[in-house]
């Protein structure tokens, strides 16, 4: 158990809908990262927050947005969903925001868009 929790574990929804994925980092970690894992794209970095502020952005679509709240939990919002958004979404957390800080991954949320 990494100490990072993600809810829900599974999510099934229809095209065009909007969903919110939630992540609670390990106690004491200030940095949260979101990753998408799909069969065709592999594991890709989406976005990073550190202590409530966006710090780095990867291949995140404009239909996707995220935020980190004062209690440090984070939410990833996916809207106008398409079949291709079906994937496993991971959240990771670390104490700091640089390479010397190990990222701890949550168990993931499996999103299926039908």
Partner 1 sequence: GNSVTQMEGPVTLSEEAFLTINCTYTATGYPSLFWYVQYPGEGLQLLLKATKADDKGSNKGFEATYRKETTSFHLEKGSVQVSDSAVYFCALFTAGGTSYGKLTFGQGTILTVHP
Q: Which residues bind partner 1 (CB under 8 A)?
A: 2, 4, 31, 33, 35, 42-45, 48, 50, 55-56, 58, 90, 92, 97-100, 102-108
Q: How far apart are CA 53 and CA 44, in angstroms?
A: 20
Closer residue to partner 1 (CB): 16 or 58: 58
The nearest distance, CB 19 to partner 1, in angstroms, is 19
Distance of CA 84 to the CA centre of its chain: 16
Structure tokens at 102: 């190990």
Closer residue to partner 1 (CB): 52 or 107: 107
Letter string b/e over residues 31-46, b meaning 16 or more CB atoms within 10 A of that residue's CB = bbbbbbeeeeeeeeeb
The nearest distance, CB 17 to partner 1, in angstroms, is 25
The nearest distance, CB 77 to partner 1, in angstroms, is 20
Structure tokens at 67: 């935020």
């Amino acid at each position: 158990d990494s100490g990072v929790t993600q809810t829900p574990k599974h999510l099934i929804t229809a095209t065009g809908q909007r969903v919110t994925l939630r992540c609670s980092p390990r106690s004491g970690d200030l940095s949260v990262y979101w990753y998408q894992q799909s069969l065709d794209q592999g594991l890709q970095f989406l976005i990073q927050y550190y202590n409530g502020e966006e710090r780095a952005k990867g291949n995140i679509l404009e239909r996707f947005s995220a935020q980190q709240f004062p209690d440090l939990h984070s939410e990833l919002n996916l809207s106008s969903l398409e079949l291709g958004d079906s994937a496993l979404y991971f959240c990771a957390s670390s104490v700091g925001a640089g390479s010397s800080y190990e990222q701890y991954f949550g168990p993931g949320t499996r999103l299926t868009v039908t």
